[in-house]
Amino acid sequence: MTERRDPDALIRRAGRGNPDFDQHFLVDDRVLDRIPTYAEAFDRSHVLEVGPGPGALTDRLLAVADRVTAVERDPDLAAHLREEFVDAREAGRLTVIEGDALDVELPDYTCCISNLPYSASSELAFRLLPEGEPTVLMFQHEFAERMAADVDDDAYGRLSVSAQHYADARVVEEVPKEAFDPQPRVRSAIVRTTPRDPDYEVDDEAFFLGFVKALFTQRRKTVRNAIRNTGHISGLDDPEAVVSAADEDLLRKRPGNLPPATFAELAALAAEHGDPS
């Protein structure tokens, strides 16, 4: 096995991360070594890495993957990666795409393994999850907990329902601040997502996700009042008709007590009776 690159040496060659630009580079060798193992059950023949920074995780991914595509927004870091891993690039094993992962065209990949920038965690997660490929992703700890939370958990919310619409999500490791340079102000966690079809039907995915978002803006209200108060968000022209058509026991509950399948049933009812615009 090729000797691993030292993360601190990579940072010295690349330039220290700027926390103002959300650059917190993972430097703990033990965490770096473990991350690819969480994807051992996945096809790692072509790994997508978003936000590779100086390349410490890229180095580990190249040791287990046939090919790696790294998407880096920072032009200086992209140039560093091309130089640092010139042998892998010339061998056709590494492709560096310079650009924002929210905007660039993603290649056909078999799984995504990344330390994501916190400021774009939600946008990036929901760029990746609909792709239908498995992921191992580093998030802010609170975001990770919300993503994997079960119904009735304190952390359960819009993020839980939306993420689990696409995949099973599980927190596989908590990561301390000391594992990064510069250190973030919060703890981190690694989430593994395994794609699967939901156990319910959704005719209009955009409306379903928007409806979930709307009701969770009123998470402390009953479902009855949440529907009534959020027509301007969900796009319902007649929320009162939805309330009239819904089951009374359901209307007494709060959004945090509804599993994804019940949200899907309620969204279908809303689409049928609420005259969504």
Residues belonging to the binding site for S-adenosyl-L-methionine are 24, 26, 51, 72, 100, 115
Beta bridge partners of 194: 168
Q: Which of 229, 160, 176, 165 is nearest to 30 (CA)?
A: 176
Beta-carbon-side half-sphere exposure of residue 162 (alpha carbons within 13 Å): 24
Beta bridge partners of 267: none
Which residue ranges are tagged as binding site?
24, 26, 51, 72, 100, 115
Taking the alpha carbons of 241, 243, 247, 250 in that order, is the dihedral positive or negative? positive
Distance, in Å, from the CA atom of 195 to the CA atom of 193, rounded to the nearest integer, reads: 6
Which residue type sits at 63? Answer: A
DSSP string, 187-241: -EEEEEEEE---SS--S-HHHHHHHHHHHHTTTTS-HHHHHHH-HHHHTBS-HHH
